[in-house]
Copies of this chain bind each other. A is one copy, B any other.
């Protein structure tokens, strides 16, 4: 009865044991070679490596995960509504970066889209069960309970973006304040006198930062910040339209607009066209994100580029560190801010 295989699939795949037999060594030794332990003689190592090659041995990750109580996987969690709200490229660029950086590891990338509270609960269970080694969280809201849950169960995690200025969890963010500031300085530098801004939802830290950058640039130019020149929206095209109408009715004399996202800039552009204002002739327009939308607008939109793909890569690096360095509890949490860059196009 011994040796009877029950399952068809996977049949014939060599196991550690078989490699050991062929190399004339014990299981433990093969395991050590596979995992690159230094305590193996060169002689033995060579023998094992040859056996591995001959048999075409590939370790069974599942067995490994079970025995070592690791998962060999990280989860990328994406709150679904966000992918609709934010311009798509952000989302896919992050994935690209994450995927690229993970390719060198042998960690699997698990993608988790969260739509409903039920699914969020399910994820929480899943994570509590330690079925992944770490978590990458994209665009978390300030009131999201997930980061705290992760903290509690000691699951390594990295956020893209901060929830507030005093973020405690490791994160990778881009320099929203600086980017916004440079955008507005650019507008002012081009001689615009009355520069307005369309903000994102101000309960989001990212929107606060971009507004903060606007303020900074206005003040740096020795001007007053006028409340009339600030309209807040929600990162959507429709929101951009509404805010632009508001702004135009309040201050018909405005000649520059900084929108905190390209999509809102697109909405604003439409309203400007409706009202017969030329861009950049009458009104200069700048966006944020440098998404495909910016390039395809007419005229092409000046925008602040964030290194989104690089953010994905950085997140993985930080997460890997977190996973490795969990031991020393005192270590400071790695947090990094990536620079942005103004991309000048015809809209300003």
Contact = CB atoms under 8 A, between A and B. Distances in A.
Given A96-B83, A110-B109, A9 B130 contact: yes
A131 interface: yes
A320 to B, nearest CB: 17
B128 A292 contact: no
Given A89-B88, A128-B58, A298-B297, A95 B66 contact: no
A308 to B, nearest CB: 12
A220 interface: no
A164 interface: no
Contacts of A266: 296
A9 B69 contact: yes
Interface in A55-72: 58, 60-63, 65-66, 68-69, 71
A152 B77 CA distance: 34
Which bucket holds chain A's interface residue count?
35 or more
A275 interface: no
Contacts of A62: 62, 65-66, 71, 131
A103 B96 contact: no
Interface in A73-87: 76, 80, 83, 87
A60 B109 CA distance: 19
Contacts of A88: 88-89, 92, 292
A154 B130 CA distance: 31
A297 B297 CA distance: 6
Given A60-B129, A62-B66, A95 B113 contact: yes
A115 interface: yes
Nearest to A118: B103
A227 B125 CA distance: 61
Contacts of A129: 10, 13, 58, 60-61
A91 B63 CA distance: 33
A108 interface: yes
A58 to B, nearest CB: 5
A335 interface: no
B111 A96 contact: no
A103 B115 contact: yes
| 6 closest residue pairs by CB, A with B | A99-B113, A298-B298, A7-B69, A111-B111, A58-B129, A62-B65
Given A58-B125, A99-B111, 8 more contacts: A10-B129, A58-B129, A61-B129, A62-B71, A63-B66, A66-B66, A100-B113, A296-B296
26 contacts: A7-B69, A9-B69, A10-B69, A10-B129, A13-B129, A60-B66, A60-B131, A61-B131, A76-B111, A80-B96, A83-B96, A88-B89, A88-B92, A91-B92, A92-B92, A95-B113, A96-B113, A99-B111, A99-B113, A103-B115, A103-B119, A108-B110, A266-B296, A292-B292, A296-B296, A297-B298
